Chains A and B, each alone.
Chain A
Amino acid sequence: MTIEVRIPTILRPYTKDQKAVSAEGPTLSAVITNLDSNYAGLGERLLENGALRRFINVYINDEDVRFLGGLEAPIKDGDSITILPAVAGG
Chain B
Amino acid sequence: MSLEISQAIVDAILEQSRAEYPDECCGVVLGPVGSDKALRLKPMVNSAHSPTFYEFDPKDLLALYREVDDNDEEIVVIYHSHTETEAYPSRTDIAYAGEPGAHYVLVSTRKEIAPATEFRSYRIIDGVVTEEPVVITG
Is the pair B98, A85 in contact by a Cβ cutoff of 8 Å? yes
Question: Among A9, A57, A89, A90, which residue has its beta carbon within 8 angstroms of that of B58?
Answer: A57
Residue of chain A at shortest CB distance from B91: A90
Q: Enumerate chain B residues within 8 angstroms of A59, measured Cβ to Cβ.
A: 58, 62
* Shortest Cβ distance from residue A62 to the other chain B in the assembled complex, whole angstroms: 7
Question: Among B54, B91, B100, B101, which residue has its beta carbon within 8 angstroms of that of A88?
Answer: B54
Residue with the highest number of chain B CB atoms closer than 10 Å, among A59, A84, A85, A88: A88
Is the pair B62, A90 in contact by a Cβ cutoff of 8 Å? no
Known interface pairs A8-B98, A9-B101; A84-B62 also in contact (CB < 8 Å): yes
Q: Enumerate chain B residues within 8 angstroms of A82, measured Cβ to Cβ.
A: 62, 65
Known interface pairs A57-B58, A57-B62; A87-B98 also in contact (CB < 8 Å): yes
Question: Among B58, B65, B100, which residue has its beta carbon within 8 angstroms of that of A64?
Answer: B58
**How many residues of A are in contact with the other chain, CB < 8 A?**
17
Is the pair A10, B78 in contact by a Cβ cutoff of 8 Å? no
What 0/1 pattern do residues 7 to 18 of A give for CB contact below 8 A with B? 011100000000
Residue of chain B at shortest CB distance from A56: B98
Beyond contacts A84-B98, A87-B99: 15 other A-B pairs, Cβ-Cβ < 8 A, are A8-B98, A10-B99, A57-B58, A84-B58, A84-B61, A86-B61, A87-B26, A87-B56, A89-B80, A89-B90, A89-B96, A90-B52, A90-B90, A90-B91, A90-B92
User: Can you report 27 A-B residue pairs in the complex whose CB atoms are below 8 A from each other?
Assistant: A9-B101, A10-B98, A55-B96, A57-B58, A59-B58, A59-B62, A64-B62, A66-B58, A82-B62, A84-B65, A84-B98, A85-B99, A86-B55, A86-B58, A86-B61, A87-B28, A87-B44, A87-B61, A87-B96, A87-B99, A88-B48, A88-B54, A88-B92, A89-B54, A89-B92, A89-B93, A90-B93
